[in-house]
Amino acid sequence: MSLSAVVLLCMFGTVTSEACAVPSAQQWLVTGLQTQLENGVKQQSSPSPSVVMALNLAGGRDSTATKRLIQDIKGIKDMTSGKVALYVLSLQSFCVDPKDVPTAGGRVNVVSALEEKTNEEIKHYYDTGTPKTTNYQLALDILALCVEKSPDAKNAAATLIKIIKGCQSKGCFDVDTAAMVALALSCVHDGMSKGSKMEGAITETLRVITAQILDSQQESGIIGNIYSTGLAMQALSVTTEFYPAGAWKCTKTIDEVLRKMYEGAFTNPEAGSQILPSLVGKTYLDVATLNCFSDPNITVHYTVINQLIGPYFNYSITVKVPKGSVLLAALEAAQHVNPTIFSFQTESTSWGPMVISIHGVNGSSDDKTYWQFLSGEKPLDQGVGSYKPTDNEHIVAKFSTY
């Protein structure tokens, strides 16, 4: 067995728990992905609404991203319906009312614009047999309208059900589209009275759609391919009543997604934005129920300094880790974001893990050198496996002598 295979086996092991959640030992991978997406958004003049929404679902909110997102609304007339739907969901995740968005040119009702574009999709279907854009975008429109409790969501859902019935045998729904359909119809279903004719039609359609998603489940746990798995996870997590218990091997899916994350599969922001919500236990249906004033993570500023032996260096990074995490999790998150600079090694001791090397620079008993950890300028009185940093704390790892 190769060394890399041994490392992966040691990191992830075999998933035996029935709980469908990221194991605490691999949580740093999720926070690393979140940090990666946040850094990307900060560099974009026009942030992606899907990336912004995913970050908000994960608890990280950037007010400057909100302002830039609102600036882009001036081009709403030229957007596809699906793009407008993403803006509705993203604004809602920021706790900005999409029906009344303050812009430089006046207040804009983005939901009304979405209703108009969705009606265009439906009219095009009845005129030509296909939506104006795609089935995926129509499903996304319905999801956003449903989250906003628009009465148009129900009528659009009825059209989507007709489309599904008309193309079941043609295989015209890939995993991504089927997952978005499941999310949209699940939302509409939850708001309907039991026993109605429409409720029965949605129930039957959801059984068909979830069966199709599950048919794409591979032995590894991946659903479709690695990039369709994120939406499929969201869909299956909210439709459990429509497929047999145990049909989705959720823990296998989580395990394989984490393996792929470790290998760098989600460097593309859009791909990362679809997988992040499921990894933090959220779906697009949660955007309207977020607590906009609570962040489950803390920010840690981390600096590594070597002024003892050449080549000298002084590098800094900002990462997020879940509240209550030990310092080791912040080091792992930094290493995941930039392994070239923030790689490190530890050694087990009776006091817990001890960092013996950072950026390829090793401590030495012969030279009496070691890596000292400080909070600002104050040395820590606990090891990296015990010390729990606070929000916005500045941790310094300094190559020192004793």
Main-chain dihedrals φ then ψ at residue 155, nearest 5 degrees: -65, -40
274 is in an annotated binding site: yes
Element (H, E) at 261: helix 250-262
Residue in the block written with tokens 């890399």: 4
pLDDT score for 196: 75
The closest of 205, 195, 84 to 143, measured between CA atoms, is: 84
What the block records as the tokens of 399 is: 């190559």
Of 289, 309, 340, which marks where a domain is finished? 289
pLDDT over 50 at 384, yes or no = yes
pLDDT over 70 at 400, yes or no = yes
133 is in an annotated binding site: yes
What the block records as the tokens of 164 is: 């599904």
| CATH code, domain carrying 212 | 1.50.10.20
CB 60 within 8 A of CB 53: no
pLDDT score for 288: 79
- Please tell me the distance from the alpha carbon of residue 318 to that of residue 299, in angstroms, as a whole number: 7
- Confirm whether 3 is domain-assigned: no
Residue in the block written with tokens 């995993």: 175
3-state secondary structure of 217: strand
137 is in an annotated binding site: yes
262 is in an annotated binding site: no
Q: Are residues 257 and 383 in the same domain?
A: no
State the Cα torsion 102-104-105-107 to the nearest 10°.
Answer: 0
State the Cα torsion 288-291-292-298 to the nearest 10°.
Answer: -130
Of 239, 267, 289, which marks where a domain is finished? 289
Mean pLDDT of 216-228: 94
Residue 39: which pLDDT band, with cuts at 50, 70 and 90? confident
The domain of 186 spans 24-289
Residue in the block written with tokens 């996304």: 140
The closest of 274, 269, 276, 273 to 296, measured between CA atoms, is: 276
What the block records as the tokens of 123 is: 């009219």
pLDDT over 70 at 293, yes or no = no
pLDDT over 80 at 291, yes or no = no
176 is in an annotated binding site: yes
- Confirm whether 4 is domain-assigned: no
331 is in an annotated binding site: no
pLDDT score for 62: 67
Of 261, 289, 317, which marks where a domain is finished? 289
Q: Are residues 155 and 226 in the same domain?
A: yes
pLDDT over 90 at 284, yes or no = yes
In tens, the pLDDT along 316-338 reads 999 988 888 899 999 999 998 89
Mean pLDDT of the chain: 87
In tens, the pLDDT along 162-201 reads 999 887 554 568 999 999 999 999 999 988 767 678 889 9
Residue in the block written with tokens 């041994």: 6
Q: Are residues 280 and 346 in the same domain?
A: no
Residue 292: which pLDDT band, with cuts at 50, 70 and 90? low
- Please tell me the distance from the alpha carbon of residue 178 to that of residue 184, in angstroms, as a whole number: 10
Q: Are residues 226 and 301 in the same domain?
A: no
- Confirm whether 382 is domain-assigned: yes
Q: Are residues 112 and 259 in the same domain?
A: yes
- Please tell me the distance from the alpha carbon of residue 18 to that of residue 161, in angstroms, as a whole number: 33
Residue 1: which pLDDT band, with cuts at 50, 70 and 90? very low
pLDDT score for 11: 37
Mean pLDDT of 334-350: 92
- Per-residue exposure over 142-164, b if at least 16 CB sit within 10 Å of its own CB, e if not: bbbbbbbebebbbbbbebbbebb
Q: Among 37-51, 58-72, 207-221, 274-288, where is mean pLDDT lowest?
A: 58-72
136 is in an annotated binding site: yes
Q: Are residues 71 and 133 in the same domain?
A: yes
Please name every residue paired with 394 in a beta bridge, in sequence order, or none if there are none: 301
In tens, the pLDDT along 12-34 reads 333 333 357 888 888 889 988 98
Domains in the chain, number: 2
Q: Are residues 161 and 62 in the same domain?
A: yes
Of residues 266 and 395, the one with the higher pLDDT is 395
- Confirm whether 318 is domain-assigned: yes
Of residues 315 and 173, the one with the higher pLDDT is 315
Beta strands 378-379 and 369-375, pairing class: antiparallel
CB atoms within 10 A of CB 183: 25
Q: Among 165-179, 271-285, 296-310, where is mean pLDDT lowest?
A: 165-179
pLDDT over 50 at 8, yes or no = no
| CATH code, domain carrying 370 | 2.170.130.30
Mean pLDDT of 351-364: 93
- Confirm whether 1 is domain-assigned: no
- Confirm whether 7 is domain-assigned: no
- Confirm whether 268 is domain-assigned: yes
155 is in an annotated binding site: no
Of residues 6 and 94, the one with the higher pLDDT is 94
- Please tell me the distance from the alpha carbon of residue 320 to that of residue 334, in angstroms, as a whole number: 9
Q: Are residues 215 and 73 in the same domain?
A: yes
284 is in an annotated binding site: no
Residue 258: which pLDDT band, with cuts at 50, 70 and 90? very high
pLDDT over 70 at 4, yes or no = no
The amino acid occupying position 290 is L
- Confirm whether 269 is domain-assigned: yes
Mean pLDDT of 109-114: 95
